[in-house]
Each structure stands twice: as C-alpha cells, then as structure tokens.
Amino acid sequence: MSKPIFTIPSRNERHIYWAVFYGVIILIWLSTESTYMPLTVLLGAGLAFGVLMLAILYRFGGISLSLQQFLIGASLFGALVGAMAVPSTFLLMLFKNVQHSHYYAPDFPNTTILDLWQRLPFWTVAGTLLGLGWALWIIATYIDREDENASIPS
C-alpha cells in the first residue's frame, strides 16, 4: 500500500459555525421573492456540499489516505455532491413554493421543479469531474516531487 499523503481533518466548531452561517443565508433567500434559478441551484449544491462535508468530517476525520484513496475519495465525494445537489435544490424550491403559497403563479412552476430531475446524471458527472479536478490540483500544488516524505497539509 502507498504511503499516506492526505489526512482528513476532524470536524470542529469552525465547521459548525459555517453550517449555521449557511443556514442563515438560506433563510434570508427563502424570505425573498427571488426566482433566479442559478442562485437556487447554487444554494442547493452548497447545501449538498455542506451536509456531505460535515458527515465525512464527523465519520472519517483523522484518517490518512494514500494517493489512490485520495483521488478515488475526491471523485466519489464530487459525485455524491453532484447527485445530492438535485434533491437539495428540489427541496429548497418546493419549500419556497409551500412557504409563499402562491396559487396562480408560484415562485417555481411544477415543470421547472420536475425538469430539474432530468439533469441528475449530468450533475453527478459534473460533480465527479470537479472532485477529481480538485484532487489533482491539490496534489499538483502541495506535493513536492523531490521530497519523498511530502504530504498535503490538512
């Protein structure tokens, strides 16, 4: 087995504060009449990222990974975030429609909400590629090829 190059950090108070801050951002967004789709999708993807990141930091914090494990883990993390972005965005859109309860012209029409599910495979592939790209960028940035004991700071 390869030597460890990356250690998953443990969850701490700073991560919890960021989660609360993100929750406040979502609450502010819910109170507005915004129907801007890119912002909604970004909030949904951020929610998926935050929930999955907190779960991984809690469950796997402190574990050291080899190069192969790091690349595969980052790709899987990206795929899960991409796949979870669709249901997260769906729930945000649905909750906003229910909260505002516009009968004739909801913030997000049903066709828009249902069309979101057709993009699930593309979001999963995009998340996988982003996760892999992030991992390769981290490796290229932090690994010194001349230092055989190099590792990525956590």
pLDDT confidence of residue 105: 72
Using only the alpha carbons of the chain, give its radius of gyration.
19
Q: What angle do CA 14, 10, 28 make, to 5 degrees?
A: 35
Rounded Cα–Cα distance for residues 58 and 154 (Å) = 15
- Mean pLDDT for each consecutive 10-residue tract of the chain (154 residues)? 79 93 94 87 96 94 90 96 96 85 75 90 97 92 63 60
Q: Bridge-partner residues for 64, per DSSP?
A: 7
Q: Is 62 left (phi over 0), alpha (psi -120 to 50) or beta?
A: left
**Are 29 and 95 spatial neighbours (Cβ–Cβ below 8 Å)?**
no
Alpha-carbon span 95 to 29, nearest angstrom: 11
How much is the pTM? 0.85
SS3 152: strand
The gap between the terminal CA atoms of the chain, to the nearest Å, is 21
* pLDDT for 7: 87
Domain ranges of the chain: 6-142
What is the reported pLDDT for 146? 52
